[in-house]
Structure 1
Amino acid sequence: MPQAIISPSVLASDFGQLTAECKRMIKDGADWLHMGMFRGFYHLVSNEIHPPCPDVMDGHFVPNITMGAPILSCVHKSVPGIFMDCHMMVSQPEIWINDVANAGGALYCFHIEAASDPISLIKAIHDRKMKAGVAISPDTPSLAITDEIGHSADMLLVMTVYPGRGGQKFLERCVPKVAELRARFPEKDIEVDGGVGPKTIDVCAQAGSNVIVAGTAIFGADDPKAVIKTLRGTVNTAQDKLRP
């Protein structure tokens, strides 16, 4: 089983103190920083328009780009050793690869719903020396990630809320997709994002997720270090039980 990775979502941070917030998270034990990017998300599966919400967006897959490459570049230069987990909620993910790579992105995660040729996209990401992630929205079945795609990617992301709409509750109905992907890809990093925190981590970890994105649950906590420790401990305990 891959190691536990805690990736606080900077969307829940104080953007006026972004560099300091990222440094604070790393000091408190975060492994990655989840940099969500999009623009008022157009959900390709349900055909619903969702209001803007901060993660990396382009104005089509989601309307408004909240956090673009210039911000990523500033954070990368100011926070030594940062691993930027870039979640691209964009309609043409191929056009942002070079910008994100040049800005210091370490992992580029695109949505399967927005990709016409996922394998070529993964190759293009790898050619820029970034890890490649593939995300699925709540209404997309896990089988949309074929064996070829799953084996080519470095990380698989199961959304447990709808991208581009804030204030949603954790969708436990998405968790079986984590288990299905873990069964097919036992050595891959599998990430969950959306409404995850101490109250919902158990089901995610037990299903086999090892990369945990949490926003308010960490940034809004009185003791973020303790929350990160709790999330990591829950994943490690679940992994011990899942090992043959």
Structure 2
Amino acid sequence: MANAPLIAASILAADFAKLGEEISVVDAAGADWIHVDVMDGHLVPNISMGPGIVRAIRPYTSKTFDVHLMISPVEAYLQGFVEAGADIITVHPEACTHIHHTLQLIRSFGVKAGIALSLDTSLKTLNNLLDIVDLIVVMTVKPGFGGQNFILSQLKKITAVRQRIDATNYPIHLEVDGGVTADISRRVVAAGADVLVAGTATFKGGRDSYASNIAAMRTVN
């Protein structure tokens, strides 16, 4: 029987005009983490938010801030996001001069370090990194856009990453990001994920639906 996954509510799908309120409501509705997508218009096509927004919304919840940096270059901005309130910072290896150094730098600030694997990022990228990573994110859509459909071929990648994690003694979370719905959640948890990023699936239907939306994604048995 699979364990219920953690739900990381992606605020990219929230009402930005009332972002603080949205975070408080989704916190009360049962979200485990708050997922913050930071996009620069360079590494990915869209532009979203910076450290100032993270700092502004930090007081609205004590839940883990799971900050996904889709920016390049990335190293110069790490401390700013840590100071703004990030608890986990995930980076793309393609945006790093040296991914090993970047992960070590993130951890040196006292927060957890994550690595995101895009659709075409090889699993070989994880070689020699599992001892310094706290979170591995398998992207199941093209990074940079919300509301996309889950790419089913990535299920094999999730399983392969889970096998790599299980071959170690390290407490690494395996997060899936992109197109997660209540129906898809069962498949990705069965494949080995223990954290689900959910934006549209969390925030659809308005605030009265947030709790039931989250509960539906947690029900994987």
TM-score between the two structures when normalised by the length of structure 1:
0.82
Q: Provide Cα deviations, 1:188-230, integer angstroms capped at 9, x if missing partner.
A: 2000111101121121111100010011111013522122122
Q: 1:104 offset after TM fit, Å?
A: 0.5
Alignment of 1:133-172 (within 5 A): 133-146=114-127, 148-172=128-152
Whether 1:73 aligns to 2:74 is no
CA distance, structure 2, for counterparts of residue 141 and residue 64 of structure 1:
24
Q: Distance in 1 between matches of 2:27 and 2:120?
A: 33
- Tell me the residue number matched to 1:219: 203
1:61·1:114 contact (CA, 8 Å) conserved in 2?
Answer: yes
1-side partners of 2:121 and 2:102: how far apart? 19
The Cα of 1:127 is off from its aligned counterpart by 1.1
> How far apart are residue 89 of structure 1 and its match?
0.4
Deviations 1:68-107 (A, max 9, x none): 1000001113x14132100000111211111100101110
Q: What is the rounded CA distance, in whole Å, between the counterparts of 1:7 and 1:167 in structure 2?
A: 15
Choose from 63, 82, 85 the match for 1:104.
Answer: 85
Deviation string for 1:92-128 (max 9, x for gaps)?
1211111100101110000122223112111111111
Decide which of 138, 162, 165 is 1:185's aligned counterpart.
165
Contact 1:2 1:189 in 2 (8 A): no
C-alpha distance 133-102 of structure 1, shift in aligned 2 (>3 A): same
Could you tell me whether the CA contact under 8 Å between 1:175 and 1:204 is conserved in 2?
yes
Q: Where does the alignment leave 5 or more consecutive residues of structure 1 unmatched? A: 41-59, 238-244
SS across alignment from 2:219: helix
1:45 alignment partner in structure 2 = none
Give 1:3 deviation, angstroms.
7.0
Cα distance between partner residues in 1 of 2:102 and 2:3: 24
Cα distance in 2 between the residues matched to 1:16 and 1:209:
32
1:61 aligns with 2:43: yes
Match of 2:180 in 1: 196
Q: Give the counterpart letter for 2:157 in structure 1.
A: K
Q: What is the match of residue 115 of structure 1?
A: 96
| Deviation of 1:140 (Å) | 1.5
Question: Does 2:114 correspond to 1:127?
Answer: no
- Aligned pair count reads 214
Please state whether the residue corresponding to 2:120 is helix, strand or coil.
coil
Q: Deviations over 1:129-183 (max 9, x none)?
A: 111000011122223221x212310000000000113442210111111111111
Q: Aligned AA for 1:5?
A: L
